[in-house]
Structure 1
Amino acid sequence: MTTQGPDAPFALARFRDGEGTVLGLVAGDRIRALGPDDLGAADLNSFLATGEWGRLARLVDVDGPWRPLADVTLTAPVEPRQVLQAGANYRTHVIQLAIAGMTRRDSGLSEEEARARAERAMDARAASGRAYVFIGMPACVVGDDEPLVLPAGSEQHDWELELAAVIGSRAFRVTPEEAPAHIAGYTIVNDITTRDLAFPADIGGLGADWFRSKNSPGFLPTGPFLVPAGFVDPSDLRVRLDLNDRAMQDATTAELVHDVAHIVSTASHTLPLLPGDLILTGSPAGNGQHWGRFLQDGDVLTGSITHLGTQVVRCVADTGDPAA
């Protein structure tokens, strides 16, 4: 249960209320429900399109129906219509993978030669200005109030903690310089991946199968907070994931090959980005594939990013019961 808000003057969250979900304003260890009159908009995505955060800032010091944050159950703070994901976007992580791949193929390269080749390739990628972006499924976005069900049939379910940008006003064919004006805020996403489904042998080496490997139910635990972009400098945030209290990923967004603005710009040149959409920025080194240790029943994933709070995801085995 979340008891403390993010390290920001205020943020948005969504919480369970009976059979429904309510949008709330979080300030410290308090939360209050927000309605259309508070937002000046019909719903969350309509509000994000306006960017009128000042309306909410004025509510922080107003007496009203505040409740202790510890008394509510938070769920995913966003309702995206589209999810776009940047891959291979942390320099150290990709260089490590490239070195392992080159040396594993018995290429005759020493580790030093492989590293130099990998670093040149990463420099060329960064200079291109174009991020590698693929599609996720909005139906996979859940809060950390839901357990992560590990699908039966594989023992290679993996974690990838990521900074995610949330789109504000519609963005279509924007430049990297224009992109920040279209980012409403930031949140935490864990991009869960089933590794042995990612590059299936039965399709003749045609490429990656991101649909099957990344889109099982609940494979995008998100939140618990949406922090306004004005409170976050995305260029140097600490991204840390602990598995059962052991640090597995610990890096900063200073290692991003393509920064958030370039990722948003790249994605926007293919399709319009809509208010509330999630743009994932990639994951640093230290996933389960690196450690040779994948997710198991009973595991607890604790992910945190500077200013954005902490996400706690509990893993459970697939019982085979669709209603479970």
Structure 2
Amino acid sequence: MKSAATSAPLFVGPLAIGTLSAPGGAAFPGLVVPDGRVLDLRTALDEPALTALSLLERWEAELPRLHRLAGDPAGDWLPLDDLSVHAPVEPRQIFQSGANYRQHVIDLEVAHRAQDDPRTVEEARAEIAAIMDKRAAEDLPYVFIGLPTTITGPYDDVVLPSWAKKPDWELELAAVISRPAHRVAVEEALEYVAGYTIANDLTDRATIFRRDMPAIGTDWLHCKNAPGFTPLGPWIVPAGSVADPSDLRVTLKLNGEKMQDESTKDMIFGVARMVSYISQTAQLLPGDLVLTGSPAGNGLHWGRLLRDGDVMDGSVTGLGAQRTHCVAEETS
């Protein structure tokens, strides 16, 4: 699907990376500049097989060259409005942070509490807030793994599976990894981040918990990993252009009505802590995504879940915006 109009700057900084295609053509990694021009990096770097992922695999070496290309008006520039925009990268691994926005966790816990819970809403909120503060003090992030097949483009339709009875939105800041990271310190973790993008980590609230065996707890495979459940992009904005990832505004509108509107300051654990924490167990690879959690204002909070025909507009400060239409799965 085509991108939005390009009359305003698309993102912060002098350049971003996207994956695009001309009508009838193959997808290609593109160097995008804020005024809406695109350079096909397969041609500019003389590498016909280049992808966004292979570019990220040598990100630090290529970034100075990308800056030079962005400042050269004589390049073979293409107008963005003539191109389709896809997810900016096909990651090998997706690491998802749960319960990472203080207010969001409090809202969810209150919404999910048992009907016979004797506490008042105020008492429940106070107790959950104390638990969040304890988590932060004890340095215990919560991370699970998603599937690359959930990735879809920032303007693609989102198919709501027939089995998903309570599909919900969760707009998030996502960090994109630039080089292999294993057991890195918090103080060094941001050196492994190529840039940032936008992810909408859709969730079916009805299938989060295993009702057949409550002791097992959450079922992230079922509730989050339907095809297309992670609209991504539109761009990867280099980390050097993002002054402070802990001070960005995450905003989602549903059919034009603002539902999420929160600063990443409300994150319990910042990007550096999440990257370091994940790397203590797993090895992060170039192009991997670290989703940092979603702020308050999801559908469960509002009592309004996604349905056929809905339009979601999501943005994060300086990273652009995505628009996705919800379409009910066709059943025979």
**TM-score of the alignment, normalized to the shorter chain, above 0.5:** yes
The equivalences for 1:52-131 within 5 A come to 52-62=62-72, 63-101=74-112, 104-107=115-118, 109-131=119-141
Q: Which amino acid aligns with 1:230?
A: G
Distance 2:111 2:29 in 1: 45
Distance 2:329 2:140 in 1: 38
Q: Using a 3 Å threshold, how does the CA distance of structure 1 residues 39 and 55 change in structure 2: closer, same or farther?
A: farther
* Residue from 42, 45, 69 that aligns with 1:38: 45
Q: Which amino acid aligns with 2:16?
A: A
**What whole-Å deviation, never above 9, does each CA across 1:47-95 have from its counterpart, x for those lacking one?**
3233231111101121121111111110000110000000000011112
Q: Which residue of 1 aligns with 2:177?
A: 167
Q: Which TM-score applies when normalising by structure 2? A: 0.91
Aligned length: 320
Q: Which amino acid aligns with 2:202?
A: I
The equivalences for 1:207-226 within 5 A come to 207-226=217-236
Q: Which residue of 2 aligns with 1:48?
A: 56
Q: Using a 3 Å threshold, how does the CA distance of structure 1 residues 125 and 166 change in structure 2: closer, same or farther?
A: same
- The answer on whether the counterparts of 1:103 and 1:114 sit within 8 Å (CA) in structure 2 is no
- The answer on whether the counterparts of 1:199 and 1:205 sit within 8 Å (CA) in structure 2 is no
Distance 1:95 1:288 in 2: 14
Residue 8 (structure 1) aligned with residue 13 (structure 2): yes
* Residue from 25, 34, 42 that aligns with 2:31: 25
Question: What residue ranges of structure 1 are gaps of 5+ in the alignment?
Answer: none
Q: Which residue of 1 aligns with 2:312?
A: 301
How many percent identity over aligned positions? 49
Report the secondary structure of 1:201's partner residue: coil
Residue 189 (structure 1) aligned with residue 189 (structure 2): no
The equivalences for 1:253-272 within 5 A come to 253-272=264-283
Q: Which amino acid aligns with 2:40?
A: A
Q: Which amino acid aligns with 1:88?
A: A
- The answer on whether the counterparts of 1:39 and 1:47 sit within 8 Å (CA) in structure 2 is no
The equivalences for 1:277-296 within 5 A come to 277-296=288-307
**What whole-Å deviation, never above 9, does each CA across 1:142-176 have from its counterpart, x for those lacking one?**
10242101111333111000000000011001111
Distance 2:46 2:218 in 1: 42
Q: Considering only aligned residues, what root-mean-square deviation do their CA atoms show, in Å?
A: 1.9
Q: Which amino acid aligns with 1:9?
A: P
Distance 1:156 1:251 in 2: 23
Distance 2:50 2:84 in 1: 23
Deviates more, 1:83-92 or 1:28-37: 28-37
Distance 1:39 1:30 in 2: 19
Q: Which TM-score applies when normalising by structure 1? A: 0.93
- The answer on whether the counterparts of 1:90 and 1:255 sit within 8 Å (CA) in structure 2 is yes
Deviates more, 1:7-16 or 1:211-220: 7-16
Q: Using a 3 Å threshold, how does the CA distance of structure 1 residues 286 and 42 change in structure 2: closer, same or farther?
A: same
* Residue from 234, 241, 260 that aligns with 1:231: 241
Report the secondary structure of 1:250's partner residue: strand
Report the secondary structure of 2:223's partner residue: helix
Report the secondary structure of 1:139's partner residue: helix
Report the secondary structure of 1:307's partner residue: coil
- The answer on whether the counterparts of 2:311 and 2:325 sit within 8 Å (CA) in structure 1 is yes
Distance 1:212 1:236 in 2: 32
Q: Which amino acid aligns with 1:13?
A: G
Q: Which residue of 2 aligns with 1:156?
A: 166
